[in-house]
A and B are shown apart, each in its own frame.
Chain A
Amino acid sequence: MEENKNAKEDTTYDLFEFKLLVDTADSYQSSQDFYSAIEHYSAAIELDSKNAELYHKRGWSKAHIGDIKGELEDWSLAIECNPNIAQYYADRAVAKVTLMDYTGAIEDAEQAIKLDPEQKTLIEPIISNIYKKIEIPEMVDEKTGNIPDNEVREEIKNWGSDRRDFLKQITTVGMATMTGALLTGCTSRTLEGGKKNVKWGMIIDLKKCVGCKACTVACKVENHTPPGVAYNVVIEEETGVFPHNKKTFTPRPCMQCEFPSCTTVCPVSATYQREDGITVVDYDVCIGCKYCIAACPYGARSFDFGHNYGEEGVYPWEGQPSPEYGQHRERKNHASPEGNVRKCTFCMHRIYNGTGPACATTCMGHAIYFGNLADPDAECMVHGVNLQNLLATRSYMRLKEETGNAPRVYYLT
């Protein structure tokens, strides 16, 4: 354990007990029992509340259970206790990227480099990730992802402060716009975005799907969906008579239709299609009328009735915020998304961090391909296979073509 030089010397606690707590927590963390690790780190922190490394380690455990806000808090506390450790700033920068606070992430990244230039190799992926999001390709080497030089870094800083001024300006404009919106009934689409010229889609190979339903479980774990809500299910169909019978398994995520039925019927424009083709639900606007559920031809939407897995209250895992839409909402006190309609988002929060949807990355049979269907050269984010080539060389079908919804999920038959 790194000695905390700035810590006030406090010998009022039992050192043996303290070391025992920390060692126990460390071993829980190594064996990936992160909840127990957090419990023990917290107990140790009660004995020594100025120990930066304890906050840092607890932050790591929280990161592993998806508690991004808790992780961020802990790293801020670690920095408060010892502002001279570059690693703390680097880790906080990663958390801020996940929470889409890019300006804050860049500031922390720069601070980390200032304290320890060796941190450069750790910071590179963070910075290049941010650049991809803000689309400044000339500032980064696409192949190596090298950190830009000092001149460029200055420019980013200016961009950051320009952005802050810009944000102040648009707040004023925004107030005027909202007044107009009230009069005209238009809404600001807070989940709008995505890359231009990208249409995310999925190709599922029915010959490879073995019906294990790992995709259903992975989706549930990733999105922290409660009981009674399922974004991705596997439909089983048995045909024929023994010994000439067979079973077909059809995973059914949201079809992310090109012409969705759900968006046209929503009375409050809470659900709409982004530029990248993903249909989203704004939980703060949705009134929970369930018209979209009635309108969806694929049964792909679920209403959050408020169930929990715990018999009395909420289990620790399900109390953690869901990373959906990068919003990290906690389901408590009947706040959204409880009482809202929920759906698969192709793990939007993952794909813009460079990882494929949970179902695709989990699938044992490598049956799920995912990527940009608008680009003829695009490869699957998970398996690296050219997507258009798959559709060109294999026969495929889409569910309920007769509806005219043009789903973006293709099934290879």
Chain B
Amino acid sequence: MYQEKVHYSSYKPSKILLIILIAMTVVGVIATYQTLTKGHIILNSTQHIPWGIWVAAYLFAISFSIGAYLVSSLSYVFKIEVFKPIRHLSLVISLLGVVLAGFFIILDLGHPLRMMNIFLSFNPESPMAWMGILYGLFAVGLVLQIAVSMDFPFLKYFGERFNYIDRKENREKFLKTLGVIGVIVTLLVLIGEGGIFAVAKARPAWFGGLFPILLIISGIASGAGIITYFSGYIIKLTPELKTRLLKKVLKVSVTAMVVTYIMLFIEMSTKFYSGVAVEIYPWSQMLFGEYWYTFWIFQMLVGLIFPLYAVLKPSLKNPIRVYKWAGFAVALGLFCLRLNIVMPSQANETILGISEANTHWRFSLGYAPSLMEYFLILGGIALFLWLLLLAVKFLPLNNVTTTSNKN
């Protein structure tokens, strides 16, 4: 019978981290309770900016979830050996991204308990409906892939089927098949997700074919960035191998990020060149508006320049630490990109003067997240980290080594 020797990570969270996580959990619980009991009156979104920071966070979660899965497929589908040590962690981060995305988007609904209506009264013309269905399918396939890849005990009850995948070559073949299907489904999910924005002709900054592709590429960047960061803590390898691994993953992340920004630059420059006010406005808000620092400091300086420096500098004093934080910086920069995609595009008036037609603040064009919105973000991050810590404790996230066959 084939038996693998698997490694569990020896990572243990520090007391300070646990205290911070508990605090974040408390505020997250408060925000969740407030949302479920008081409704969306606690949000600061308006009639002209209906989608706020929770939608941006959901978009980020879904992107990095898919991106992490695509990074795992480098090992499962394309058999690139150097990525094998992180393939379990990539799958788990992908699944936790699914959970996080679900957490944010369900609470962003006015009636969260009616979510099943997507299945009961499905609208085939709606990109959001397709995205919901496909994402659900992806989640199911992902759980199966994790179960097979990490040899979950319940598989023993599948008798013959288990025996088939219990042999190493069959298992790898099965995982490859799942991986191929998973890659196709995830690409469709991101195309659907981008399609939600791409078909909105009322919002000139979104309307067009850019977003589906942008979300795929930036999703890979953010997924790989997050994997780089957590691999720095969780994966146990010799320093040389770990440095090599982190650099490889970071290179994937930074390459995808550079492509993302090239696409954005092309989009922005054509809009500015056109001189059309409604086309220019969202981009000018991003670059020179009230929240200019989100772009210039968090996206450019932290999210682009620092990771580029980390990847391009030939030798570093403490490469593992630098690569880890470079991965985090990429993810942070791309989260800010999501904020800049979602918010400024909505701050454009659909009809000139409409924001002044009603004096209630819910009709204004300005938006800043409320305290409860920030609390929920913190709560979501805490949820992600708690689940990751559980995964570190109970799942073989570390690199896998094989032993000889035993009868």
Contacts and interface: CB of A to CB of B under 8 A. Distances in A.
B111 A288 contact: yes
Label chain B's interface by main secondary structure.
Answer: loop
Contacts, number: 169
Contacts of B313: none
Contact of A339 (B40, B201, B350): B40
B38 interface: yes
Interface string B27-68: 000000000001111010101101100000000000000000
B126 interface: yes
Contact of A306 (B41, B351, B352, B360): B41
Contacts of B126: 264-267, 291
Nearest to B132: A267
Of A187, A299, A340, most buried by chain B (CB within 10 Å of CB) is A299
Interface residues of B, number: 51
A370 B237 CA distance: 75
A250 B119 CA distance: 40
B113 to A, nearest CB: 9
Contacts of B241: none
A121 B294 CA distance: 72
A186 B122 CA distance: 7
A109 interface: no
A306 B39 CA distance: 7
Given A268-B121, A287-B110, A339-B40, A295 B202 contact: yes
B111 A336 contact: yes
Contacts of A302: 47, 362
Given A185-B121, A265-B128, A293-B47, A230 B351 contact: no
A227 interface: yes
A413 interface: no
Interface residues of A, number: 55
A339 B128 contact: no
Contacts of A295: 199-202
A269 B362 contact: no
A206 interface: no
Contacts of A341: 110
Given A261-B201, A265-B199, A267-B132, A235 B51 contact: no
Interface in A284-301: 285-291, 293-299, 301
B114 interface: yes
B127 A289 contact: no
Given A286-B111, A288-B109, 15 more contacts: A185-B124, A228-B363, A230-B360, A235-B351, A264-B125, A267-B122, A268-B114, A269-B123, A270-B117, A293-B47, A294-B50, A294-B51, A299-B351, A306-B38, A403-B202
21 contacts: A181-B121, A185-B120, A233-B354, A233-B357, A265-B126, A265-B128, A285-B114, A286-B111, A287-B109, A287-B117, A288-B40, A290-B51, A297-B202, A302-B362, A303-B40, A303-B50, A307-B41, A338-B39, A339-B110, A340-B111, A403-B201
Interface of A: 181-182, 185-187, 216, 227-230, 233-237, 250, 252, 261, 264-270, 285-291, 293-299, 301-307, 334, 336, 338-341, 399-400, 403
Interface of B: 38-41, 43, 45, 47-48, 50-51, 108-112, 114-115, 117-129, 132, 196, 199-203, 346, 349-354, 356-358, 360-363
